[in-house]
């Protein structure tokens, strides 16, 4: 128990620091970002039917119900396959840690959605940061980390896994911008938040 607590306390501290940084940066971006509405309007003006359809699929890859179900299935799968909890705990902790930071800061930073036509129903949370993107990084990236660690250096399979683990969050990020649900800065910080939470949980759980 002492060993577990010794590992968890630094993770909690780092997540609290990240929450503070996300809040502070969100307040700064909200007050100073003047060019982004124009950028978003330019993107919205170039929409095409087939891109609308593709971006809908891309965005849904990280919808909350999808991430929750996939995380649960993956956690169960790793537990059954490996006979231990470490990998399952890592994946769940990574996904839920970014969610906690996102929920705390989106409630405090009241950034409105981009002033363009939204192709999705806007959730009650604010635009800052992108929870879709941070969740995609933590789940798909975290899953790739775990799978590659057990592929024993198989280059082709590892390359395919990394392509999915890195590619899906980028697809989600582009889709959320295209669909008018987030500014570019929201998405960029969502990527940073996801990577940060992965790093924290790697150190806390996997090491």
- Percentage, residues of the chain above pLDDT 70: 95
Rounded CA-CA distance 202/146 in Å is 10
Checking if the pLDDT of 1 tops 50, the result is no
Give helix 155-178 / helix 184-201 axis angle, nearest 10°: 140
Checking if the pLDDT of 4 tops 90, the result is no
- Half-sphere exposure in the Cβ direction for 154 (13 Å, CA): 11
The rounded radius of gyration (Å) of the Cα atoms in the chain is 18
Q: How confident is the model at residue 3 (pLDDT cuts 50, 70, 90)?
A: low
Checking if the pLDDT of 5 tops 80, the result is no
Checking if the pLDDT of 30 tops 80, the result is no
pLDDT digits (tens, 9 = 90+) for 168-183: 999 999 999 999 999 9
pTM recorded for the entire structure:
0.89
Q: What's residue 29's pLDDT?
A: 79
Distant-in-sequence, close-in-space partners of 111: CB < 8 Å, separation ≥ 6: 26, 29, 30, 126, 127, 128, 183, 186
pLDDT digits (tens, 9 = 90+) for 77-133: 999 999 899 899 999 999 999 999 998 888 888 788 888 988 888 776 778 899 999
Rounded CA-CA distance 124/78 in Å is 34
Residue 144 CA to its chain's centroid (Å)? 14
Q: Tell the residue number behind the tokens 């902790």, with chain if given.
A: 93
């Amino acid at each position: 128990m002492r060993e577990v607590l010794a590992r968890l306390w630094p993770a909690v501290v780092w997540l609290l620091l990240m929450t503070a940084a996300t809040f502070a940066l969100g307040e700064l971006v909200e007050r100073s970002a003047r060019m982004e509405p124009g950028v978003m309007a330019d993107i919205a003006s170039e929409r095409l039917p087939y891109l609308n359809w593709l971006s809908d699929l891309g965005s849904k890859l990280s919808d909350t119900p999808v991430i929750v179900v996939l995380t649960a299935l993956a956690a169960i799968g790793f537990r059954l396959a490996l006979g231990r909890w470490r990998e399952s705990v890592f994946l769940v902790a990574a996904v839920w840690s970014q969610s906690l930071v996102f929920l705390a800061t989106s409630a405090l930073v009241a950034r409105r959605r981009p002033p363009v036509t939204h192709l999705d129903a806007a959730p009650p949370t604010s635009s800052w940061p992108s929870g879709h993107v941070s969740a995609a990084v933590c789940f798909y990236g975290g899953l790739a980390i775990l799978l590659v660690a057990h592929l024993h250096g198989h280059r082709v399979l590892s390359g395919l896994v990394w392509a999915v683990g890195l590619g899906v969050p980028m697809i989600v990020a582009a889709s959320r911008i295209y669909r008018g649900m987030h500014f570019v800065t929201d998405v960029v910080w969502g990527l940073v938040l996801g990577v940060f939470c992965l790093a924290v949980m790697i150190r806390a759980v996997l090491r």
